Amino acid sequence: MARSDADIPRVTLIIDLPLPDLFSSLVKGLLTDVVAVAPKGWLGRPPIKLLWRRLRRMTTRFAAIMAQLHAGTLPPPAAPRAPAPPRPADAAPPSHGSPPSDGSPPPHEPRLPDPTRRVGWVIRAIPGASIWGGQFKEMLANPKLPTAYADAPQLGSVLRPMCHMMAVRQPAWLRLPRAPRPPRPRRVVEIPPAPDWLVNEPGAILRPDGTVWMRIGASTKWRPGFGETLAQAQRFDPPIRIWPRTEWK
């Protein structure tokens, strides 16, 4: 027998809870769905374990940041990392699972597989997780959260990944400014000089970039007394570039 929407249990978070308890309650509900999926093998044991650990760490970090904020011991936000130097073209990319070439120790935990890095991958992989995505939207709409974020920008390291996992659009106060793009080098096109006969052609329009333009429509036959001014005749006869030719582009 098919279940109607009225039969599906709805969970409503209590907005009056402290923010750490609010986030912890949300994650606990999501972890309940993760545990229910694990025996069915839909996602696989390694991603399930990594998702479990990540959610637990996010809860712990959120609570620790808020505790430091209330105690007045929260350190200032770390400076943004400098971009990594470009890898030489002849350098081979490191193989998966091999230790880093710079001698640093390998990470303690493998990264999530590529398919699970897509936006909203938790919603796709965990049945019922969309309910918690809606609850997370309500939490982001809580007026206490933007105020806490303004005092503790470190909360963004928890909230932004959760938005990515749950396919929730980041509110304006949570988005990071985009890094400025380096200016693109302008391509300089060398235009060969136009021949003298073209430069001296009646009606030729010489422009500073070396191109030559000309009107070839009805305005070239304009004479005074035709009932319209020259400017009016040229409205429907825009200049056409005649130098350089197409093969010189």
Q: For 13-49, how does the pLDDT look when each residue is reduced to its tens digit (9 = 90+)?
A: 545 688 999 999 999 988 888 877 765 655 556 677 7
Is 64's pLDDT higher than 90?
yes
Q: By three-state DSSP, how is residue 103 classified?
A: coil
Cα angle vertex 79, ends 107, 159, to 5°?
70
- Beta strands 205-206 and 240-243: pairing type? unpaired
Beta strands in 84-238 (DSSP E): 205-206, 212-214
Amino acid letter for position 12: T
Least confident stretch, 99-108, 138-147, 210-219: 99-108
pLDDT at position 125: 77
pLDDT band at 1 (very low <50, low <70, confident <90, very high): very low
DSSP class of residue 168 equals: -
Looking at the chain, how many residues does it have? 249
Select the highest-mean-pLDDT range: 19-28, 75-84, 224-233.
19-28
Largest Cα span, the chain: 92
Mean pLDDT of the chain: 78
Reported pTM = 0.56
Identity of residue 71: A
Radius of gyration of the chain (CA): 32
167: left (phi over 0), alpha (psi -120 to 50) or beta: left
Provide mean pLDDT across the span 1-14. 44
Of 32-46, 166-180, 225-239, give the lowest mean pLDDT range: 32-46
Q: What is the mean pLDDT of residues 149-169?
A: 93
